[in-house]
Amino acid sequence: VVTYPAIIIALCLLLVEPNPVSGLWGALVGGLVLLIPVLRYGPERAGVGDVKLALFIGLVLGFPATFYALFAAFGIGAIVAGAGVVAGRWHHTSSIPFAPFLALGAIIVWFSCGPADSFQIAFDHMNAELLDVYKRQLLPISVVMVAIS
């Protein structure tokens, strides 16, 4: 429910940006990478919500950063799943929610790299303090809210 408005807001922000290509490529990469398991295994086994979350993350982070966020999410997810299997809590056939790993990967990339340069250009006209509040507080909170919804 929260994902669709978040995607619409991110798309509107891209429309005021002078060069929205990075965000669109990020959304395409993020959405397609997670759409493949849905098409292969069906929406019962692979989450469509993960596709929407990856699309949102791609719109916000832009192309190169989205790739890094997905890489971090898959890596952290593999480590946690492997630890769960070794500990005997999960089996190799267990279903594990992927949205928390997507959100964590996006937050790690956001704080280590920041958004794509083109996203910064769109907000040059805003007050620097408002931009800092957006980057440091509002975006990570919105990513977490979308992930838990």
Q: What is the pLDDT of residue 132?
A: 57
Angle between helix axes 63-87 and 48-61 (nearest 10 degrees) is 140
Give the model's pLDDT for residue 94. Answer: 82
Which pLDDT does position 31 carry in this prediction? Answer: 92
Whole-number Å distance between alpha carbons of 35 and 1? 19
Residue of 107, 17, 101 whose CA lies nearest to 61: 107
pLDDT at 22: 83
What's the confidence (pLDDT) of residue 134? Answer: 52
What amino acid is encoded at 88 in this protein? G
pLDDT the model gives residue 139: 59
User: What global pTM score does this model have?
Assistant: 0.73
List, for the chain, all residue ranges whose pLDDT scores fall below the cut of 70.
1, 114-149
Exposure of 47 in the CB half-sphere (CA atoms within 13 A) = 16
Angle at 65 between CA 117 and CA 52, to 5 degrees: 115
What is the pLDDT at residue 62?
85
